[in-house]
Amino acid sequence: MLSWVNGRPQDAVPVTDRGLSYGDGLFETILVASGQALGWALHMDRLARGCSALGLPPPPIDGLNADRAGLCAIGPDPAVLKIILTVGGTARGYARPDPFAWRRIVSLMPAPAWLRDDYESGIRVRWCRQLWFSDPDLAGIKHLNRLPQVRARAEWTDAGIAEGLMRDPEGRVIGGTMSNLFVIKDAVLATPNLTQCGIAGTMRARIMAIAHRLGWTVEETALSVMDCYRADELFVCNAVRGIRPIRQLESRMFRPGPVTRALQREFGFPWPIPEDAR
């Protein structure tokens, strides 16, 4: 793994860093393929929304552009580019330094293995007991406080289960520990409304844009457990792993359907394209 801090090769930050002490910051995880950071503009837009939500100045885009170019020129490909922005260091206490200086922590590591069967046959998922609690002011962004997802992922050790689905305290389905969820029923593409909690993924945004372009009906709505079980198709998505159909949710079995296959075909490279989606 390659890592830079504020534009210089470095693999450590001071113990006073507010991201470490308080989770005071934001992050983005971006797929790099053929030298391109895919969906870069969408990631930067979300980063800017996160800064606004946390009451911070706009992100240091020029510095991040330089980090991206420098690391992608010397690192592996395909790869995962991770950006962490923290509010730098501080003395004890919650008050932010005034003025403060962004600390940019940018790393590049090889992309995970994309198992063809995950894209052709689909993955197994389960329900998580851990809830995703409501916080409308922070909904949609990728702030550094991710303990609910850490606790949810700790619920299983079975390597055959690729993802866990989380709900809010009212029982509404929010999404996976590291992915967004789409439910297809009667040719309608639905995804959880994320105004109260959850992460508004960049792949989710790209999928909805393509669906609108294709003339499909797309809904951001409240989804229940039974909505998932009654679906014709289910899939999860994120910026690094693309679109993966769900073949099993607990004991309920599914098959990848025409909507999922059409979207897999639209995205294609760099993820495996199932034979029946070509």
pLDDT at position 98 is 84
pLDDT at position 277 is 66
Residue 190, token pair as written in the block: 């639905």
User: pTM for this structure?
Assistant: 0.95
Q: Domain 2-110 class?
A: alpha beta
* Spatial contact of 167 and 174, defined as CB atoms under 8 Å apart: yes
pLDDT at position 278 is 63
- pLDDT higher than 80, residue 146: yes
Closest by alpha carbon to 216, among 278, 277, 263?
Answer: 263
13-71 tens-digit pLDDT:
999 999 999 999 999 999 999 999 999 999 999 999 999 999 999 999 999 999 999 99
Query: What ranges do the domains of the chain cover?
Result: 2-110, 116-272
Output the 3-class SS for 39-53.
Answer: CHHHHHHHHHHHHHH
Closest by alpha carbon to 242, among 265, 275, 212, 216?
Answer: 265
CATH fold, domain 116-272, is D-amino Acid Aminotransferase; Chain A, domain 2 (3.20.10)
